[in-house]
Structures are given as structure tokens and as C-alpha cells.
């Protein structure tokens, strides 16, 4: 095999947009592309107030959305010693045409937190359902989705099998400043994220 062009790992990983193999109506995550400021209000079941950041982009020829989810924010990470309320992890959301849904893999190596779920639209929300290795059902949701904000909830099913208990809660606001979009172009496009920039429209009618 002959490699005709030398590319960085990021260049090979990233994609310019959603693959045409994914129906627009099933695109549950394209609206996330860009950068977000996070305000964590609950983590591991405890009330907190921790700033964070998240960055999303298309990957793998447009068949996946990958993120880097960071808490505390990079600007203050060196000041935080508590590894239990700390994340520098990544989620890979890969489209699976056989189930018409997204396979979710979250990995946070800071304190060995792994989750596997299935995600799709549920009305106006994006809901991810999974089961942990110990048998505990999980439900993670993107709710109150707007062009520049969303509310994220992480829940587990109580032992009664009926009650969902809140483990994690984030409020997110889109960063409106110059960012680099993974367009596949060279040089990258510089832009300020806005509703006009979204490759995938949010579906308010869902």
C-alpha cells in the first residue's frame, strides 16, 4: 500500500459532515458539533458547582460523532486534586444502521468510568439507554435543546425498578467565538458558531 498524502491523526479521524448513509431524521447528534461551556450542578449523585467544557465533531467518514468532555475546565484543571469529580474523557457515538440508532461508548480514564448505551431521538429529547456491568440500568438525556444551549441529565434506575435517580446534571451553553470546524479543508475554516453554521438543524417539531 502506498500512502499518497501525509496526514495527522486528527485529519484522518475527522469528517466534514454527516454520512449520506444516515437519514436526516435519525441524526440525533449533529446539532452538537462545535464547542460548549458546561456548568456541572450534580456529579456522582452529589450537588456540585464545577465549570467544564465539551467539544464535538463528525468523525469516521461522517458515521460517528466524537466528543471530548472535560471537567473541570482546562483553565483550572491544575488546581483540582479530587479525581472523583474529574473527567477528561471521550464519547464515540457511532451510527448502526442495523438498529437505526447510535451506539454510545463513553470512556473517562481519569477515574475508570466506562458506559455503553444506545441513543436516539425520543420526542424533543435525545435519550441514551444502557446497563452497567453490575446490572444497573442507565438513562442519559439531552433535554431542553435549543440552538445555543441544552440541559443534560444522567440517571440510574433505583433498586425498586421504577424510580429514576439523578446522578449527574449539566447545563451547557454554546461558545460563540472563533473556533475551528473539522471541515476536511486545508487550512481549516475559522468561524463563530451560530444557528446559521449548523450543518444539521435541530428538529423543534419532534
Residue 200 pLDDT: 38
Q: How far apart (Å, rounded) are the C-alpha atoms in residues 23 and 102?
A: 12
Q: List, run by run, the mean pLDDT of 10-residue segments along the chain (206 residues).
A: 75 96 98 98 94 97 98 85 88 98 97 96 98 97 97 97 97 72 34 35 42
Residue 78 pLDDT: 78
- Helices (H) then strands (E): counts for the chain: 1, 12
Residue 100 pLDDT: 97
Distance of CA 133 to the CA centre of its chain: 22
Per-domain residue ranges of the chain: 14-197
Superfamily per CATH, domain 14-197: Calycin beta-barrel core domain (2.40.128.20)
Is residue 171 within 8 Å of 39, Cβ to Cβ? yes
Q: Is the dihedral of CA 89, 45, 118, 113 positive or negative?
A: positive
Residue 55 pLDDT: 98
Residue 83 pLDDT: 82
Amino acid at each position: 500500500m502506498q500512502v499518497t498524502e501525509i496526514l495527522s491523526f486528527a485529519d484522518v479521524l475527522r469528517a466534514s459532515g454527516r454520512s449520506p448513509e444516515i437519514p436526516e431524521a435519525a441524526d440525533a447528534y449533529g446539532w452538537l458539533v462545535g464547542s460548549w461551556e458546561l456548568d456541572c450542578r450534580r456529579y456522582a449523585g452529589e450537588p456540585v458547582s464545577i465549570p467544564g467544557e465539551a467539544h464535538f465533531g463528525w468523525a469516521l467518514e461522517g458515521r460517528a460523532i466524537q466528543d471530548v468532555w472535560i471537567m473541570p475546565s482546562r483553565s483550572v484543571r491544575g488546581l483540582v486534586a479530587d479525581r472523583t469529580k474529574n473527567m477528561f474523557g471521550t464519547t464515540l457515538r457511532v451510527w448502526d444502521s442495523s438498529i437505526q440508532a447510535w451506539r454510545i461508548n463513553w470512556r473517562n480514564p481519569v477515574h475508570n468510568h466506562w458506559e455503553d448505551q444506545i441513543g436516539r431521538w425520543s420526542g424533543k429529547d435525545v435519550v441514551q439507554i444502557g446497563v452497567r456491568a453490575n446490572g444497573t440500568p442507565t438513562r442519559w438525556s439531552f433535554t431542553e435543546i435549543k440552538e445555543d444551549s441544552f440541559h443534560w441529565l444522567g440517571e440510574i434506575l433505583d433498586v425498586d425498578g421504577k424510580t429514576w435517580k439523578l446522578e449527574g446534571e449539566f447545563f451547557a451553553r454554546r461558545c460563540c467565538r472563533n473556533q475551528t470546524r473539522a471541515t476536511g479543508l486545508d487550512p481549516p475554516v475559522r468561524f463563530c458558531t451560530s444557528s446559521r453554521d449548523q450543518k444539521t438543524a435541530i428538529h423543534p417539531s419532534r
